[in-house]
Amino acid sequence: MIGEPTPLELDLIRMVEATGPIPFDRYMALCLGHPRYGYYMSRDPFGARGDFTTAPEVTQMFGEIIGIWCMQCFELMGKPQKFDLIELGPGRGTLMADLLRAACAMPEFVKSLRLRLIETSPVLRDMQKQALANAGTSATWHDSLDEVEPAATLLIANEFFDALPVLLFQRLKDGWAEFAVGLREGKLAIGLIPALHPLPAWTAGAKEGEVAEVRPAADSLGMAIGRRLAENSGAALIIDYGHGRSSLGQTLQAVRRHRPVSILDRPGESDLTAHVDFDCLVRAITTGGGRTLRLMPQGDFLHQMGLAVRAQILSRNATEAQKSDIAAAMDRVAGPKQMGQMFQILAATSPWLPCPHPFSV
């Protein structure tokens, strides 16, 4: 019932009482991934009735085009006999089902792939199993990328990195302080504590009052992806909303039923996301030994990969209503005022791989 504290809120209150204020990234990790009460752990958050809609849920063309990109990379990798096709946070499994359907055009690709899905939510794992039941390939599920042995890799992450926990800092007169979740009059409250974590170099010019978001989880995952690409042939495609240059300011927000709400609102029942800092991600991947390619808006990527042609083919046997749905979906995922400009695509490859279309070094 709205008004009653959520079960996670009660847990968090007990935690603060026992051990003191919780660093912000821990708060975010628990809100999203608490084994019992975490936002993703017990619900399907997608679609009109959920809290948000992602590109693969808008149109099948999204996953199909990513499939074509993967097949291209498979060729550039010299068609390895075995490779891991990895998706981080596959949601309902829609992108992967569309990708694999497109991949039927290249039987060697399907024969060589081992599907590895990185997903912590049992509810979404079940949905992924259903979505992929007829995909003609078996999959294994893992809690984190660390569980997957190094191998030739094609890795996809759509709207995954924005769900990784962030730390929040504020510049005070004498140095940095860190936001933490504590208690005020028995209720959860956000306050400042002396900074427990080190700040990266790009925060150096901050003025008093300015806020910095730092992403240790994204950094270590970026490094792990870079290492995989340095050890074996492979490529990765990371798609998310975010900024190309590390900059100060808060992008963290909470959303419930498509509306922004306060960060402390109904913990475990609201989605928490922060923009991806692609600058940091590039540094992490290259530190790990991977090569990153030039960041590209999602709309440019989709168009250069043939979105309009695919839409035309789909429209051939469609009714008038279906045709207008296809056109609207195309605009939604690629239009400059919709997801086309706001979402960015970062591609990374093994340093020795030729650069895949439509990216440049």
- Residue 90 as a binder of ligand SAH (CB under 6 A): the answer is yes
- Residue 44 as a binder of ligand SAH (CB under 6 A): the answer is no
- Residue 273 as a binder of ligand SAH (CB under 6 A): the answer is no
Give every CB contact of residue 196 below 8 A, 6+ residues apart in sequence. Answer: 23, 178
- Specify the stretch interacting with ligand SAH by CB under 6 A; choose among 2-10, 117-125, 178-186, 315-323: 117-125
- Residue 232 as a binder of ligand SAH (CB under 6 A): the answer is no
Q: What share of the chain is helix, strand, coil (3-state, %, to 5)?
A: 40, 25, 35
* Selected binder of ligand SAH within 21, 33, 226, 299 (CB under 6 A): 33
Instruction: Mark 13-40 as b/e (b = at least 16 C-beta within 10 Å).
Output: bebbeeeebbbbbbbbbbbbbbeebbbb
Strand pairing report for 291-292 and 187-194: unpaired
The pair phi, psi for residue 297, each rounded to 5°, is -60, 145
d(CA 74, CA 152): 10
Of 45 and 80, which has the nearer Cβ to ligand SAH?
Answer: 45
* Selected binder of ligand SAH within 64, 84, 98, 119 (CB under 6 A): 119
- Specify the stretch interacting with ligand SAH by CB under 6 A; choose among 2-10, 18-26, 87-95, 244-252: 87-95
CB atoms within 10 A of CB 251: 17
Whole-number minimum distance, CB 241 to ligand SAH, in Å? Answer: 12
- Residue 67 as a binder of ligand SAH (CB under 6 A): the answer is no
* Selected binder of ligand SAH within 26, 44, 50, 57 (CB under 6 A): 57
Instruction: Supply the angle between the helices 122-131 and 94-103 in degrees, to the nearest 10.
Output: 30
Instruction: Mark 269-300 as b/e (b = at least 16 C-beta within 10 Å).
Output: bbbbbbbbbbbbbbbbbbebbbbbbebbbbbb
Whole-number minimum distance, CB 221 to ligand SAH, in Å? Answer: 9
Residues 329, 209: contact at Cβ < 8 Å? no
Which residue's Cβ has the minimum distance to ligand SAH? 89
d(CA 193, CA 167): 12
d(CA 253, CA 209): 19
d(CA 157, CA 41): 19
- Residue 59 as a binder of ligand SAH (CB under 6 A): the answer is no
Q: How many CA atoms lie within 13 A of 36 on its CB side?
A: 7
* Selected binder of ligand SAH within 121, 153, 203, 298 (CB under 6 A): 121
Count of chain residues binding ligand SAH (CB under 6 A)? 19
Of 121 and 338, which has the nearer Cβ to ligand SAH?
Answer: 121
- Residue 163 as a binder of ligand SAH (CB under 6 A): the answer is yes
- Residue 268 as a binder of ligand SAH (CB under 6 A): the answer is no
Cα 208 to chain centroid distance, Å, stands at 31
Of 87 and 178, which has the nearer Cβ to ligand SAH?
Answer: 87
DSSP 6: P
Of 121 and 203, which has the nearer Cβ to ligand SAH?
Answer: 121
- Specify the stretch interacting with ligand SAH by CB under 6 A; choose among 100-108, 116-124, 286-294, 313-321: 116-124
* Selected binder of ligand SAH within 21, 67, 80, 91 (CB under 6 A): 91
- Specify the stretch interacting with ligand SAH by CB under 6 A; choose among 2-10, 53-61, 247-255, 307-315: 53-61
- Residue 100 as a binder of ligand SAH (CB under 6 A): the answer is no
- Residues in contact with ligand SAH by CB under 6 A are 32-33, 40, 54, 56-57, 89-91, 95, 118-121, 124, 158-160, 163
